[in-house]
Amino acid sequence: MPWKARYQTHYQSIAAAVLIALNAAVASAQTTTIPERVAKGEVLSTAPATPSGLAPSVASLLDSTDVLVTGRVGKGRSYVSDDQTEIFTDFPLEDATVLFQRVAATSNRPGPQPPISVTQRGGTVAVDGHTFTQKEGGLPPLQPGTQVLCLLNHVRAKYQIAGWYWGVFVVEDGKLRPLVTRDDFAPDYRGIALKEAVQSMMAILQKSPAKGDQR
């Protein structure tokens, strides 16, 4: 075999081995519970950046959006997932205005419906007297007091950020900025006025196959 071919084959083998090791590390982190990681002395988990590939369009996110809402982010509450492998944080939306709701929310308890809380991956929890933090590389944590426009999915009584990374826009001086760190996401909505953005999104939602209750 020519030396160039041997050289190429050697480094392809190394690259494949590295990829296998990385995949194994990710799989291991996903199957090891947070209490087990704390017992080993771990205090921080940093997830990679947003998924690779093309960013979704806002229109495609709206096709699966259950709730479009504006509001001010309240103080978050972090907790460990049921399988104890992830941390989530629920941020209540104060002074919320529901602009679109695909299916009206229901509750077994009489009286006013509970406020909408946005569920985001990541946060800090206490485990056996130690703190453990999960950070998401592609989406900074929501900050209390921030005005936001959210596209949410209603999943098992929770309102999750659409696509986990994509469905949050910060409103600064009346204009939109995607919270996700991908610069190629939502170019048509960056820097436009909140009112204009809402009108555009509502027009898309009204054309969706299953129209929701508008408020």
Residue 35: inside a domain: no
Residue at 38 is within a domain = no
| Res. 115 pLDDT band, cuts 50 70 90 | confident
CATH number, residue 54: 2.40.50
What is the per-residue pLDDT across 93-106, written as a single tens digit (0 to 9) for each? 999 999 999 876 55
Q: Give residue 175's pLDDT.
A: 98
Calculate the average pLDDT of the chain: 84
Residue 36 forms part of a structural domain: no
Q: Per the domain annotation, does 113 fall within a domain?
A: yes
- Is 23 within the bounds of a domain? no
203 sits in the region (left: phi over 0; alpha: psi -120 to 50; else beta) called alpha
Residue 167 carries which side chain, given as an amino acid letter?
G
188 CA to centre of own chain: 20
Domain count, the chain: 1
Domain extent, residue 178, equals 46-214
Report pLDDT digits (tens) over 53-74: 899 999 999 999 999 999 999 9
Query: Which neighbouring-strand residues pair with 196?
Result: none
- Whether 13 is in a domain gets the answer no
Please indicate, yes or no, if residue 6 is contained in any of the structural domains.
no
5 falls within a domain: no
